[in-house]
């Protein structure tokens, strides 16, 4: 299980959304081997698309670099052992962004 083992590097997510990301990573690592990075990424991405709307991207691996543009409040990078997970919603136009930001209802606040 992931609890107590994840190290959050950078994030601008609200705490509730961060908790969801860490919980999903824990579930994914219970289902898949750490070497099945594509399956882990798909699992996390699809759940976030369903919970918070479409447009989420997830990168999972042991050695990668990134430089991404993301929606405000929709970025987290964390690690579990040697496995790094980057989860973010890709940038959209300002008009669309207001409709894509998670609501308090979606965050169960």
Residue 81: the pLDDT is: 84
Please state the domain extents for the chain. 10-100
**CB-based contact 89:101 (threshold 8 Å):** no
d(CA 80, CA 4): 10
Specify the pLDDT at position 5: 87
pLDDT in tens, the chain (109 residues): 454 589 999 999 999 999 999 999 999 999 999 999 999 999 999 999 999 999 999 999 999 999 999 999 999 999 998 899 999 998 765 555 566 666 656 666 5
Q: Give the homologous superfamily in CATH for domain 10-100.
A: Protein Inhibitor Of Neuronal Nitric Oxide Synthase; (3.30.740.10)
3-state secondary structure of 31: helix
């Amino acid at each position: 299980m992931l609890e107590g083992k994840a190290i959050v590097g950078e994030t601008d997510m609200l705490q509730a959304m961060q908790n969801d990301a860490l919980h999903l990573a824990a579930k994914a690592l219970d289902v898949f081997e750490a070497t099945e990075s594509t399956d882990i990424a798909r699992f996390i991405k699809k759940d976030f698309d369903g919970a918070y709307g479409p447009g989420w991207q997830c990168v999972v691996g042991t050695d990668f670099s990134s430089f991404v543009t993301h929606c405000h409040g929709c970025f987290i990078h964390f690690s579990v052992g040697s496995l790094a997970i980057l989860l973010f919603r890709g940038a959209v136009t300002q008009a669309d962004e207001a409709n894509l930001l998670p609501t308090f209802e979606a965050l169960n606040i």
